[in-house]
Amino acid sequence: MSDSFLSQLPAGLNVLTDADALVRYGSDASGLQAGAPQLVARPATVEQVAALVSLCASHNKKITIAGGRSGLAGGAAPDAGDVVLSLELLNQIEEIDEAGGTALVQAGVVLDTLCAAVEEKGWYFPLDLGARGSCQIGGNVATNAGGNRVLRYGTTRQLVLGLEVVLPDGTIMTMLDRTLKNNTGLDLKQLFIGTEGTLGIITRVVLRLFPRPQVRRSALVGLASFAQIAPLLKAARSALPELSSFEVMWADYVTQAARATGRAVPFNGQWPLTVLLETEGADTPTFHAGFDTFLETVLEDGTVHDAIVPQSLEQAADLWAIRDGIGKLFESLRPFVAFDIGIPLKDMGTFIEQAMTELSQRWPQAGNLLFGHLGDGNLHLTTGHLQEADIVPVEEAVYALTGRFNGSISAEHGIGRLKKPFLHYSRDDTQQQVMRRIRDALNPQGVLNAARILD
A 10 A CB-CB count for 388 gives 8
pLDDT score for 88: 98
Cα(360)–Cα(366) distance, integer angstroms: 7
pLDDT averaged over every residue in the chain: 96
Express each pLDDT in 313-362 by its tens digit.
999 999 999 999 999 999 999 999 999 999 999 999 999 999 999 999 99
Number of helical (H) and strand (E) elements in the chain, helices listed first:
14, 18
Domain boundary assignment for the chain: 3-89, 93-211, 215-326
Residue range 418-439: mean pLDDT, rounded:
98
CATH no. of 215-326: 3.30.70.2190
Cα(392)–Cα(418) distance, integer angstroms: 10
Question: Can you give the C-alpha Rg of the chain in angstroms?
Answer: 23
Q: 94 with 112: CB under 8 angstroms?
A: no
pLDDT score of 74 more than 80:
yes
pLDDT score for 3: 74
Cα(141)–Cα(190) distance, integer angstroms: 10
The residues that bridge with 382 in the sheet, in sequence order, are: 338, 369
pLDDT score of 33 more than 60:
yes
Model pTM greater than 0.85?
yes
Q: 193 with 142: CB under 8 angstroms?
A: yes
Express each pLDDT in 368-418 by its tens digit.
999 999 989 999 999 999 999 999 999 999 999 999 999 999 999 999 999
Residue 165's H or E segment, with its range, is strand 160-166
Residue range 47-51: mean pLDDT, rounded:
98
pLDDT score for 176: 97
pLDDT score of 2 more than 80:
no
Q: 330 with 386: CB under 8 angstroms?
A: no
Share of the chain above pLDDT 70, in %: 100
Max intra-chain CA distance, the chain: 75
**Buried (b) or exposed (e) across 133-144, using 16+ Cβ within 10 A?**
eebbbbbbbbbb
Question: Are 3-89 and 215-326 the same fold in CATH?
Answer: no
Task: Name every residue whose Cβ is closer than 8 Å to that of residue 354 and which is 6 or more positions away in sequence.
Answer: 401
Express each pLDDT in 5-19 by its tens digit.
999 999 999 999 999
pLDDT score for 4: 86
> From 2.60.200.20, 3.30.465.10, 3.40.640.10, 1.10.10.10, which CATH number describes the 93-211 domain?
3.30.465.10
CATH no. of 3-89: 3.30.43.10
pLDDT score for 426: 98
